[in-house]
Amino acid sequence: MEGNLLDVVDWAENLNSNLFSLNRIKILWALSDLGDEGATARQIKNSLKIGNDGSTYSNLNALVDMGYLRMEKVTFESKNLELYSITPVGLEEWKKIKKWFGLLIGGDE
């Protein structure tokens, strides 16, 4: 499907505009690759170069509130950590975003 402005505009209505920040998109992308294994907030912050802890947690909490991520408390090496993983709803939203990006650059996905 050749992308054009009208396709991109029409398809954008399928997306959650609250998701559109670079950090939130990077988080969804990374966690979609990790599946149920997930990652800790520190791993996410450092590997994706999100910035400070406040920015990391505000983006993670927003994605949890939207139902795109789940958070569970785990203990690792005597430390209490928060492990984040993508939900099925989050994975579906990530697929929509990929499709929309594909339309932006003139392809299908």
Please count the structural domains in the chain: 1
CB 94 within 8 A of CB 58: no
The total of other beta-carbon atoms located within 10 Å of residue 37's CB is 9
Confidence of residue 1 (pLDDT cuts 50, 70, 90): very low
Q: What is the pLDDT of residues 11-55, one digit of tens each?
A: 666 666 666 788 898 999 999 999 889 999 999 999 988 888 888
Looking up residue 30, the CATH number of its domain turns out to be 1.10.10.10
The first and second tokens of residue 94, run together, are 């990530």
What's the domain range around 30?
Answer: 5-105
Cα dihedral: 23, 16, 85, 49 (round 10):
0
